[in-house]
Structure 1
Amino acid sequence: MVPPEITYGMPILCLPAISQFYLRMTKKYRLCISAKDIASVLDLSPRQAQRKYQQAKDAYGKASHQHLTVHEFAAYYGLPIEDVIARL
């Protein structure tokens, strides 16, 4: 959804405050996070990352076949979602 003050055809260079909006719209990231991703985001060993992944899954009551989303992980550990996505 484009804010009403933005008209189509306006170059992004003229809108420095809004350029972040356009970057978020074009950048794609994964919905789910894995233990390997957690290891890279938090700079942990693979086993510690698996433990943190399982703790968050247990907290949300996820079954073994269900995955943990990036937003759930960030909310559980109190991390800013933008920082987590940037490090994926």
Structure 2
Amino acid sequence: MLKPIKKEVSCYNGQDDGRIKGGYSVDKGNRFKSEMQSNSIKIKPMKKVIITTGDVQNVIGIGDRQARNIIGKIREYYKKEKHQLITVQEFCEYYGVKYDDICSKLL
């Protein structure tokens, strides 16, 4: 909710200079609140499509070198070239795990 208009302390020197800050109050640690924030559309977070070595490290709990080897084995299994990326779906099929279980670990 927006707070009523009131005088605010200047951002520069910490003293009251009598100005009104954009018609909205300022909360400590936050930027100015606007009407757009209260009426904004909720956007669903996107699911990750591509899996990286960092993701493999987090999901399996291994080191960087092992994660790169796993990505290489998956790339070889699916006959992909070096510049082609590995998807989360391919990773799940290769290891026989559920897609939803992996996605929950990635986000």
- Coarse TM-score class (shorter-chain normalised): 0.5 to 0.7
Does 1:74 pair with 2:83? no
Q: CA deviation at 1:59?
A: 0.1
Q: Residues 1-80 of structure 1 correspond to what in structure 2 (within 5 A)?
A: 26-80=44-98
Which is bigger in relative contact order (C-alpha 8 A, separation at least 6)? 1
TM-score, structure 1 as length reference: 0.68
Structure 1 or 2: more helix by fraction: 1
Question: Could you say which structure has the larger radius of gyration?
Answer: 2
Equivalent residue, structure 1, for 2:104: 86
The alignment partner of 1:53 has SS state of helix
Over the matched positions of the two proteins, sequence identity in percent amounts to: 30
**Code of the aligned partner of 1:29:** K
| Structure 1: tracts of 5 or more residues without a match | 1-25
Instruction: Kindly report the root-mean-square deviation, in angstroms, between the aligned alpha carbons of the 2 structures.
Output: 0.9
Q: CA deviation at 1:68?
A: 0.2
How many pairs align? 63
| Structure 2: tracts of 5 or more residues without a match | 1-43
